[in-house]
């Protein structure tokens, strides 16, 4: 237990130091997130690229664990590292120059296909009495990869929101990895939590630095890989993992649904995500974030309950809640769109 606390606080302290350093670097070189009228709620330029600090804190801690002989850099850890590093570079380029949504989607799908094929011998391919072929799993993995990355990217819209939600998502994964016996996943998640808590000090409202797409793409890819690994090793509990990531996937599905209903490009940005609907004005920023934290804690709790005690009652509560949330937020989003059009004279 003492070892776990030391690992967490080492990553936490490294994250604080690196986040402050990257904030100063961003200020010096003009790497700012510029406000716009499409989807961003801040009104001043905020330093970005904070995701680099999270990435370096996590993997710096893992390298230290390897050097100390506590957790060795297994083959699959190298693969997780290189895929997450790739998305950090994609995120940096997106934050600095910009990358089209279609290109990012292609990269996400391809990375999901590649990651599964790269690790198919380390993943279970039997669910009950059904043998899932590599072709089916490859396609599903690519789609799953893209959904999680885009879902995490979409929720990065309020100060501290994506960081806090990522911490909440990490807690059940930490528990699941310990139960399943994937120690390397456990240490990665524990180190990630330390890095996220350190970053949250600077990222919570009013944010002094944003993680940017550098952070959200990195976190999305990391969660996708870790969930895939855990889920493929215990396929009978696959739906507990789906429940865990309900909020980011719900926001993603709502975004696509409303854009289709409004006959807009599904890749176009807007200010009608769940966090935009919950947040009414600047005075409710922290309250809005805390409300969304509670939503994610609710889904994380059901995820844990269904993982250990798969009672039908838990699933009924989940599906009723999901249906009500979907209907409510879709209704409010369409209402907000109509009000916005009236303001603009349409």
Produce one character per residue of 297-318: b if its CB has 16 or more CB atoms within 10 Å, e if not.
Answer: ebbbbbbbbbbeeeeeebeeeb
> Sign of the C-alpha dihedral, residues 97, 102, 108, 111?
negative
Question: Which helix (H) or strand (E) is 139 found in, with range?
Answer: helix 134-154
Question: What per-residue confidence (pLDDT) applies to 41?
Answer: 59
Q: What is the pLDDT of residue 30?
A: 79
To the nearest 10°, report the CA torsion of 31, 219, 224, 185: 140
pLDDT value for 305: 97
Asked if 160 and 289 count as a contact pair (C-beta separation under 8 A), the reply is yes
Give the closest residue to 206 by CA, choosing from 288, 286, 287: 286
194 Cβ partners below 8 Å, 6+ apart? 7, 8, 9, 10, 11, 12, 15, 57, 61
Series of mean pLDDT values for 10-residue runs along the chain (346 residues): 91 97 88 64 77 97 88 84 96 91 93 82 50 71 93 94 98 96 94 98 94 96 94 87 97 92 84 87 81 97 96 96 96 84 64
pLDDT at res. 43: 58
pTM listed for this prediction: 0.92
What pLDDT sits at residue 70?
Answer: 80
Residues 260, 264, 265, 269: what is their CA dihedral angle, to the nearest 10 degrees? -110
* Contact call for residues 296 and 169 (beta carbons, < 8 A): yes
Distance CA 241, CA 230 (A): 9
Residue 196 contacts residue 53 (beta carbons within 8 Å): no
Task: Write out the two tokens for 335.
Answer: 């209402």
Rounded CA gap, 143 and 147, in Å?
6
Domain ranges of the chain: 2-343
Segment holding 96, helix H or strand E: helix 75-96
Distance CA 270, CA 250 (A): 16
């Amino acid at each position: 237990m003492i070892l776990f606390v030391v690992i967490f606080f080492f990553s936490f302290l490294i994250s604080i130091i690196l986040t402050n350093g990257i904030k100063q670097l961003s200020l010096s070189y003009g790497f700012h997130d510029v406000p716009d009228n499409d989807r961003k709620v801040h009104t001043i330029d905020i330093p970005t690229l904070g995701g680099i600090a999270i990435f370096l804190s996590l993997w710096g801690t893992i390298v230290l664990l390897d050097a100390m002989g506590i957790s060795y850099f297994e083959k699959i850890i190298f693969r997780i590292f290189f895929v997450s590093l790739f998305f950090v570079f994609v995120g940096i380029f997106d934050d600095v120059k910009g990358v089209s949504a279609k290109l990012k989607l292609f990269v996400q799908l391809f990375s999901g296909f590649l990651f599964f094929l790269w690790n198919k011998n380390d993943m279970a391919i039997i669910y009950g009495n059904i043998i899932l072929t590599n072709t089916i799993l490859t396609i599903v993995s690519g789609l799953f990869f893209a959904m999680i990355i885009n879902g995490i990217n979409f929720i990065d819209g309020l100060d501290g929101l994506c960081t806090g939600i990522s911490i909440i998502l990490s807690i059940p994964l930490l528990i699941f990895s310990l139960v399943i016996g994937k120690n390397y996943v456990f240490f990665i998640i524990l180190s990630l939590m330390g890095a996220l808590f350190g970053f949250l000090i600077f990222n919570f409202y009013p944010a002094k630095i944003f993680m940017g797409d550098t952070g959200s793409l990195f976190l999305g890819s990391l969660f996708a890989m870790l969930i895939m690994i855990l889920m493929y090793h215990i396929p009978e509990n696959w739906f507990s993992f789906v429940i865990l990531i309900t909020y980011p996937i719900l926001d993603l599905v709502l975004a696509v649904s409303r854009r289709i209903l409004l006959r807009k490009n599904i890749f176009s940005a807007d200010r009608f995500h769940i966090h935009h609907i919950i947040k009414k004005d600047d005075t409710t920023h922290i309250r809005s974030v805390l409300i969304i934290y509670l939503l994610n804690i609710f889904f994380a709790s059901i995820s844990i309950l269904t993982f250990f005690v798969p009672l039908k009652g838990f699933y009924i509560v989940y599906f009723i809640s999901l249906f009500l949330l979907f209907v409510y937020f879709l209704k409010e989003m369409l209402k907000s769109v109509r009000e916005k059009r009236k303001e603009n004279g349409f």
